[in-house]
Amino acid sequence: MDMTKVTAIVGLLVALSIASERLVEIVKGVVPPLTGKSAVQWKEGVRRTANQLLAVGAGVLTAYLARPAIPAEALPATSDATILALGLLASGGSGLWNAVLSYVLQVKDIKEAAAKSARETAGLTVPK
């Protein structure tokens, strides 16, 4: 797969993650029991499970609402299964996807530098 396409997909996931995190924060602001930890173990388990389900739901909803804005270059097929997968991936959080995006961009830069070096070595371009 072309690194430009990978970069576009990861960038899309970062944007969806940030948007879904904002939605989760809005819901948590409306439902205060989702924010504070509980001293009772089973209540804390229920709260954490509810937050995870909320994150997944927000990710899927965000991906569904963003469907018309998803560029065909990034994802040519935006079927219901694709939207569900994007939502699940987006629910992983933008911190994860920001790190993945930085790695992908570094790999892309390394490949571009290697290709440029190979062209210069072959005498196809004149170094500046």
Does residue 126 form part of some domain?
no
Could you report the per-residue pLDDT of 23-77, keeping only the tens digit for each?
999 999 999 888 888 889 999 999 999 998 999 999 999 999 998 888 777 777 7
Q: Please check whether residue 83 is in contact with residue 60, taking contact to mean a CB–CB distance below 8 angstroms.
A: yes
- Residue with the bigger pLDDT between 79 and 65: it is 65
* Averaged confidence pLDDT in the chain: 83
pLDDT recorded at residue 60: 93
Distance CA 75, CA 11 (A): 12
Confidence at 91, pLDDT banded by 50, 70, 90: confident
The answer to the question of residue 54 being in a domain is yes
Q: Which amino acid is at 101?
A: L
Q: Structural domain of residue 108, as residue ranges?
A: 3-121
Q: For 81-85, 88-92, 122-126, which range has the lowest pLDDT when averaged over its residues?
A: 122-126
Q: What is the total count of domains within the chain?
A: 1
Does residue 115 lie in a domain region?
A: yes
User: Is 22 domain-assigned?
Assistant: yes
